[in-house]
Chains A and B, each alone.
Chain A
Amino acid sequence: MKKSSSQKISLGLFVILSTIILIIALYFIGNRQNLFGKTFKISAVFNNVNGLILGNNVRYSGINVGTVKNINMINDTTICVDMIIEEKFLKHIKKNAVAGISSDGLVGSMVINIAPEKAFAAPLNPGDTIKSYSKISTNDMLETLNTTNDNISLLTSDLLKITTNIQKGKGTLAMLLNDPDLATSLKNTIFNLQTASKSASNSLTEFNSIIKSINYDESLSAVLLSDSIAAIQMKSIIANLDTSSFGIDSVITNLNELVLTIKNGNGTLNYVVNDTTLVNNIDSTVKNIKEGSIRLNENLEALKHNFFFRGYFKKLERKKAKEEKNKKYKSEIND
């Protein structure tokens, strides 16, 4: 019944050991780690391992096939990563498979992804080194995304300001959008402006040519700059010009006044121009004269056919033909 103390000790030892063994067994079962299964080693060389650490998973076409066993820095840009792969996957991984390092999820740990190539190749042998490619790391991606985001945020804030202003009716665009009258007048204005600018451009061209024409060596400015005597002369010329311009000015004033008087309705010309009744009258008079002359023509025709005057007209016709002949003759001589 009673257990001796040595029995108790061995029982205690047994309990502790079996607990430890249980824990270890559970650990390995839970980790799906093939403790006693055969494994083999392959390697890949990377420029950058992006924070890969020992024990990270190795995946082949998405299946966990092993873990990272060793990471060796060979030189400043070459890092050799050794991987332990379960043997049962050996025959499926071909020699041309490509290893890449990527992140397992956005914030997950790193994994090595071995991707198969389509071309045929022999299966891997233990100890082989496979090709690798460096992928843009999530970090880089995020960094780029960050600047893009900043820009977008600036852009949107500006856009927001503009749209708010438009909404509130501030600014030209808002007026344009909201006032149809203005739009029409603006259109006209723009059209006018266009013509104006066209003429302006013509004027400029002319002006240009003028400038070109005066832009020779002994130009006014050149003389002005070099010759003091010429300058004095120039001065007098300019003074004369000044006075003549005064004269021109007065002429223009007179002209102006003349135009004004015309405009104000004094004088015949203005009368003729401005009085429509007169114009009408004149018009109708002219018409009447026209009609009268046509009638006369007819009367004359009728008279022609009258026997009393037939002779007279025949005579007249002959005379006319003679004159015609003379004219022809004269013109032939002149030629």
Chain B
Amino acid sequence: MDILLKIVENTKIFLTEIGELSLFAKRFFKEVFTRPFEFKELLIQGYKMGNKSLLLVGVTGFILGLVFTLQSRPTLMEFGAESWMPSMVSISIVRELGPVIIALICAGKISSGIGAELGSMRVTEQIDAMEVSGTNPFKYLVVTRILAATLILPLLIIFGDAIALFGSAIVENLKGDVSFQLYFNKVFNALKFSDLIPATLKSFFFGFAIGLVGCFKGYNCKKGTVGVGEASNTAVVYASMLLFIIDFIAVFISDIFFEI
């Protein structure tokens, strides 16, 4: 009986959270199109998220390409299809692996960062101070961050894809004696806009989800340092979950429009 009650209670909490998140998203869309626009803060946040994530995304992408190529080489060699490596690797990285893995990495970095930052601002009343100063903290803190994440993530993902392909090219160069020119020739022959466009559109949504969840968790942080930790932690969990759901939907939609 106790367990049943607990399940009901947890379900209620979960549903409330989803409802609040939806309201938060609604508020974002309401405020993103109304004046004043905090353009300077948007640039600062874009710089913080983008530039400061370059190294992480680069290293992740490089290793992703490297490892993926190394791991799939034997299988393709079994078919005698090593020459398909560039096209296979590039398509799987550009279509799926790159966006999802880099988005997950960014969820870990950006989402938790936003969650912790806004959470501590909430706890130390900085958000209240902002509101009292006559600045709409939602606009100043939340809208700029969500927008920055939405715009930056596609760029990070394209950057990460490129580094991943470079890592893959290095493996092919060392193991398969494929010149870089040949490799990238094959890659660009294999890639179509129907691979790149859905992936890029998808990554906008990834960025939005990362920013939204991070801001939601931080902005509604409970009191105390425990609350801050929880905010950044749950931000990552929720963002990752949301990423997969978005990816799931995106794959279905791109299936309809781009005919995999």
Asked whether the complex places CB atoms of A and B closer than 8 A, the reply is yes
Chain B residues lying within 8 Å of A11, measured Cβ to Cβ, are: 18-19, 22-23
For B252, give its contact among A3, A5, A15, A27 (CB under 8 Å): A27
- Range, interface on chain B: 10 to 19
B10 to chain A, nearest CB (A): 12
Given the known A-B contacts A22-B249, A23-B248, A26-B249, are A9 and B255 also in contact in the complex, defined by CB atoms under 8 Å?
A: no
- The 5 tightest CB contacts between A and B, nearest first, are A12-B18, A12-B15, A8-B19, A11-B19, A26-B252
Chain A residues lying within 8 Å of B19, measured Cβ to Cβ, are: 3, 7-13, 15
For A30, give its contact among B15, B21, B252 (CB under 8 Å): B252
A–B pairs, 29, beta carbons within 8 Å:
A3-B23, A5-B16, A7-B19, A8-B15, A8-B19, A8-B23, A9-B15, A10-B15, A11-B19, A11-B22, A11-B23, A12-B16, A12-B17, A12-B18, A12-B19, A12-B21, A13-B18, A13-B19, A15-B19, A15-B21, A15-B22, A16-B18, A19-B249, A22-B249, A23-B252, A26-B249, A26-B253, A29-B256, A30-B255
Chain B residues lying within 8 Å of A29, measured Cβ to Cβ, are: 252, 256
A283 to chain B, nearest CB (A): 91
For chain B, what secondary structure do more than half of its interface residues adopt (helix, strand, loop), or is it mixed? helix
B12 within 8 A of A: yes
8 Å CB interface, A1-39 against B: 3, 5, 7-13, 15-16, 19, 22-23, 26-27, 29-30
Q: Are A19 and B12 in contact (CB under 8 A)?
A: no
B245 within 8 A of A: yes
Given the known A-B contacts A5-B16, A11-B19, A11-B22, are A30 and B256 also in contact in the complex, defined by CB atoms under 8 Å?
A: yes
For A16, give its contact among B15, B252, B256 (CB under 8 Å): B15
Q: Are B249 and A13 in contact (CB under 8 A)?
A: no
A110 to chain B, nearest CB (A): 20
For chain A, what secondary structure do more than half of its interface residues adopt (helix, strand, loop), or is it mixed? helix
Q: Are B18 and A26 in contact (CB under 8 A)?
A: no
B47 within 8 A of A: no
* Interface-central residue, A8, A13, A19, by most chain B CB under 10 Å: A8
CA distance A15 to B20 in the complex (A): 11
8 Å CB interface, B12-37 against A: 12, 14-23
Q: How many A-B residue pairs have CB under 8 A?
A: 54
Residues of B with Cβ closer than 8 Å to A?
12, 14-23, 245, 248-249, 252-253, 255-256
Q: Are B18 and A15 in contact (CB under 8 A)?
A: yes
Chain B residues lying within 8 Å of A3, measured Cβ to Cβ, are: 19, 23
Q: Are A26 and B256 in contact (CB under 8 A)?
A: yes
B197 to chain A, nearest CB (A): 17
CA distance A19 to B21 in the complex (A): 14
In chain B, what residue has the closest Cβ to A8? B19
CA distance A23 to B256 in the complex (A): 12
A14 to chain B, nearest CB (A): 8
Q: Are A9 and B16 in contact (CB under 8 A)?
A: yes
Chain A residues lying within 8 Å of B23, measured Cβ to Cβ, are: 3, 8, 11
Q: Are A8 and B252 in contact (CB under 8 A)?
A: no
B126 to chain A, nearest CB (A): 22
* Interface-central residue, A5, A9, A16, by most chain B CB under 10 Å: A9
Chain A residues lying within 8 Å of B256, measured Cβ to Cβ, are: 26, 29-30
Chain A residues lying within 8 Å of B253, measured Cβ to Cβ, are: 26
